[in-house]
Amino acid sequence: MFHEIEVMTIDSAEILRAVNEKDVSGWKCIYTAYYTALCVYANRLINDVHGAEDLVQEVLCNVWKSDSKFENVNNFTYYLYRAVYNQAMMEIRSKGYRERYARQVIQDSEGFSDEVFVETVREELTRHLYRYIDELPNEQRQIILLSIKGYTGKEIADELGIAISTVKTQKNRSFKYLREKLKNTVLFFLISCFW
Query: How many residues sit in the footprint of other proteins (CB under 8 A)?
Result: 58
Backbone angles phi, psi at 190, to 5 degrees: -105, 120
Work out whether 191 is an interface residue with other proteins (CB under 8 A).
Answer: no
Q: Give residue 84's region: left, alpha or beta (phi > 0; psi -120 to 50).
A: alpha
Work out whether 87 is an interface residue with other proteins (CB under 8 A).
Answer: no
Binding mask 47-86 for other proteins (x = CB under 8 A): --xx-xx--xx--xx--x---------xx-xx--x-----
CA dihedral 69, 72, 78, 81 (to 10 degrees): 60
DSSP class of 67: T
Q: Do 68 and 56 touch, CB atoms closer than 8 A?
A: no
Binding mask 98-127 for other proteins (x = CB under 8 A): -------------xx-x--xx-xxx-xxx-
Binding mask 170-189 for other proteins (x = CB under 8 A): -xx--x--xxxxxxxxx---
- Choose the stretch contacting other proteins; rule: CB under 8 A; options: 13-21, 30-38, 91-99, 134-142: 30-38
Backbone angles phi, psi at 7, to 5 degrees: -90, 125
Judged by beta carbon, residue 69 or residue 117, the one nearer other proteins is 117
For residue 118, with 0-12 CB atoms within 10 Å meaning exposed, 13-18 middle and 19 or more buried, which class applies?
A: exposed
Helices (H), 111-150: 114-131, 138-148
Angle between helices 164-184 and 114-131 (to 10 degrees): 110
The only residue of 70, 97, 130, 132 in contact with other proteins, by rule CB under 8 A: 130
Tell me which residues touch other proteins (CB under 8 A): 7, 24-25, 27-28, 31-32, 35-37, 39-40, 43, 49-50, 52-53, 56-57, 60-61, 64, 74-75, 77-78, 81, 111-112, 114, 117-118, 120-122, 124-126, 128-130, 144, 147-150, 171-172, 175, 178-186
